[in-house]
Amino acid sequence: MNYTDDARNMLERYLWEVEKLLPLMKRRDLIREMTSNLLDMLESRSSSEEITKEQMTEFLQEHGSPRQIARAYHRPEPLISQEFFPLFKLILTITTAVLGGLFLFRLLISIFQGEGTAILPLVGELFSGLTSLLGALVITFYLLQRFIPSWKIADDEPWDAASLEPLEHRKPPKRIESILSILLSAVFILILTLFRHRLTFCIDPSGLCLRVPVLGPGFLALIPLIVIRLAAGMVHSLILAVKARWSEPLRIGELALTFTDIGIIILLLQGPPDKFFRFDLMEELEQFASVAPILRWVYTGILLLILVLTSLEVISSIRQMISRPANRLPV
Amino acid sequence: MNQDEQMLLDRLVQELKRGNLTVAVMSRLTEEEHYGYSLLQELSVRGLDINQDTLYPMLRRLEEQNLLESRWDVDSSRPRRYYRLSSSGKEIFQALVDAWLSMEDIIRSMIR
């Protein structure tokens, strides 16, 4: 049995809407079984070779609204009821984002002020803040649903399957982009492992070219971590190029890689720039003396810019993971 | 019978069905295993049309109560979760059938 893209995306949207309302602990397994059963039902009642969007709409309309389907899997007295859960999730997302933003802001200030060692207490504060926030919200909602008459799901709740927007998946990068990324990472790994001694500049005080390494001891100490990150990125790109579609593990892998990037950038900001790049040696040269202080600022500025952009990327990836699941249908 | 009476009757029949559903579902899983949709069809062929919203959560609940055991079959065209009665489920099913038959006798004697 074939499905048009619209029909498949619509079914995925429907399943995603149901999944969001299922009990958290077993939702993956439930949705897997539900998918299998739905496809069985769909295929047993269709005589055509291909399921169209219209047929899918009609089927989902008869099947029932995601809220009604999910309701049957909830225990009568959950800590936060299904009716309240979407609101709970929305408030939790907003407050977590605000808390995360404040954390990032304080982190940037701490880095600007050169208080590298103050990062750990900040992470501790963030953890404690998130825990308190979650606890306070759970208690508030628990009390709310006990004292406010809950908004029940009626058996004849209006449901319009045609209003479901087909789920658009994030497209994987083109194969050529993945291959280029793999090649680029390989080149960087080679440079950082075999040819790092060639990354030098020439100090020429008396007509003799004296080669001085560009990389400082701080950077050299980070090379193993950077190489592992690049190698992991190569594996990730390779799997993505072969599979040609995003899956949950690949998305989690991408997120882990981005977190590693953030970690490396933060480490590169720990301490004076001369520790990582030999701007101090450069400053000793007459022709570079005026440029070296600017390069120090450029170094810090670029890293901070990358840190902000990478953090935004993390937020966007998490948002996408929450709002758009990876392809799950076995069709 | 007016519309209200009909609705009331429908609801009572539903309740009657619901009470017997566990026995019906367990009876189909004593000897052979079924996945959700095949069980739905099996029950329908035998004259018991039940909603999938009722059946699928019930299978989960019976499994949580250790009356059913399940396994994922990933070798067929698509992954399917198969259910069958567990050993404790078989024992309880037998006792449930006895209780049901005894109840049936009592009810029959009352309504004759």
| Nearest chain A Cα distance for residue B100, angstroms | 26
Yes or no, beta carbons of B79 and A40 under 8 Å apart? no
Q: What is the set of domains in chain B, with CATH numbers? A: 3-111 (1.10.10.10)
CB contact under 8 A, A41 and B78: no
Mean of all residue pLDDT scores within chain A: 82
Contact A36 B78 (CB under 8 A): yes
Asked if A193 and A289 sit in the same domain, the reply is yes
The continuous run of DSSP H or E covering A157 comes out as none
Is A159 within the bounds of a domain?
no
Question: Does A60 lie in the same domain as A33?
Answer: yes
Whether residues A44 and B37 touch (CB distance < 8 A) is answered with yes
User: At which of A43, A77, A111 does a domain end?
Assistant: A77
Verify that A62 and A117 share a domain, yes or no. no
Q: Tell whether A162 is covered by a domain.
A: no
Q: Is A159 in the B-facing interface, judged by CB distances under 8 Å?
A: no
Query: Among all residues of chain A, which has the CA nearest to that of B36?
Result: A37
Residues of chain B neighbouring A34 (CB-CB closer than 8 A) = 56
Here the tokens at position B71 are: 């396994």
Which residues of B fall within a CB distance of 8 Å from A37?
A: 35-37, 52, 56
> How many structural domains does chain A have?
3
- B55 CB within 8 Å of a chain A CB: no
DSSP letters along A260-319, please?
Answer: HHHHHHHHHTSS-GGGTB-HHHHHTSTTTTTHHHHHHHHHHHHHHHHHHHHHHHHHHHHH
Task: With CB atoms and an 8 Å threshold, state whether B37 touches A34.
Answer: no
CA distance A259 to A253: 10
For position A233, what pLDDT does the model report? 94
Q: What angle do CA A124, A130, A131 make, to 5 degrees?
A: 90
Residue of chain A minimizing CA distance to B55 = A72
Boundaries of domain holding A95: 85-150
Q: Are B97 and B23 in contact (CB under 8 A)?
A: yes
pLDDT tens digits for range A215-250: 888 899 999 999 999 999 999 999 988 887 787 788
Cα dist from B96 to A306, B89, B90, B100, B104, whole Å:
67, 10, 10, 6, 12
Tally C-beta pairs within 8 A across A and B: 41
- Which of A77, A100, A129 is the last residue before a domain boundary? A77
Residues A219 and A283 in one domain: yes
Question: Can you give the pLDDT at residue B37?
Answer: 92
pLDDT given for residue B18 in this prediction: 82
Domain for residue A331, yes or no?
Answer: no
For residues A302 and A248, membership in a common domain is answered with yes
Our CA angle for A123, A127, A130, nearest 5°, is: 135
Residues A197 and A301 in one domain: yes
Please enumerate in sequence order all residues whose Cβ is within 8 A of that of A104, keeping only pairs 6 or more positions apart, or say none: A311
Q: Which of B53, B56, B60 sits opposite A64 (nearest CB)?
A: B53
Scan for tokens 């009757």, then name that residue.
Answer: B9
User: Is there a domain that residue A255 lies in?
Assistant: yes
Inspect the interface and report whether the beta carbons of B35 and A37 lie closer than 8 Å. yes
State whether B57 and A68 contact (CB < 8 Å): no
* Three-class secondary structure of residue B71 per DSSP: strand
Residues A89 and A123 in one domain: yes
Residue A96's pLDDT is 87
Q: Looking at this protein, which amino acid is placed at residue A151?
A: W
Alpha-carbon gap, residue B49 to A288, rounded angstroms: 85
How high is the pLDDT of residue B34? 95
Residue B72: C-alpha distances to residues A19, A42, A178, B26, B45 (Å): 19, 20, 34, 19, 25
Tell me: do A143 and A229 sit in the same domain: no
Would the CB atoms of A72 and B37 count as touching at under 8 Å? no
Sorted by sequence, the CB contacts under 8 Å of residue B52 that are 6+ apart come out as: A37, A41, B36, B37, B40
Closest Cβ opposite residue B79 in set A30, A32, A64: A32
| pLDDT at res. A173 | 77
Last residue of one domain, picked from the residues A77, A94, A121: A77
Residue A167 lies in a domain: no
* Distance between B69 CA and the closest CA of chain A, angstroms: 15
Question: Is position A99 within any domain?
Answer: yes
The reply to whether A238 and A279 lie within a common domain is yes
Is A328 inside any structural domain?
A: no
Q: Which pLDDT score is estimated for B42?
A: 93
3-state SS record for chain B? CCHHHHHHHHHHHHHHHHHHHHHHHHHHCCCCCEEHHHHHHHHHHCCCCCCHHHHHHHHHHHHHCCCEEEEEECCCCCCEEEEEECHHHHHHHHHHHHHHHHHHHHHHHHHC
Let me know whether A110 and A47 are in one domain: no
Share of chain A above pLDDT 90, in %: 16
Residue A228 is predicted with a pLDDT of 94
Is the same domain home to A311 and A213? yes
Per DSSP, the three-state class of A98 is: helix
Residues A99 and A72 in one domain: no
For residue A114, what pLDDT is reported?
Answer: 64
What tens-digit pLDDT sequence spans chain B (112 residues)? Answer: 888 899 899 889 888 888 899 999 999 999 899 999 999 999 999 998 888 888 999 999 999 999 999 999 988 778 899 999 999 999 999 999 999 999 999 999 999 7
Chain position carrying tokens 């062929």: B45
Tokens of residue A48, six digits: 């055509």
Residue type at A249 in one-letter notation = P
Ranges under pLDDT 50 in chain A:
none
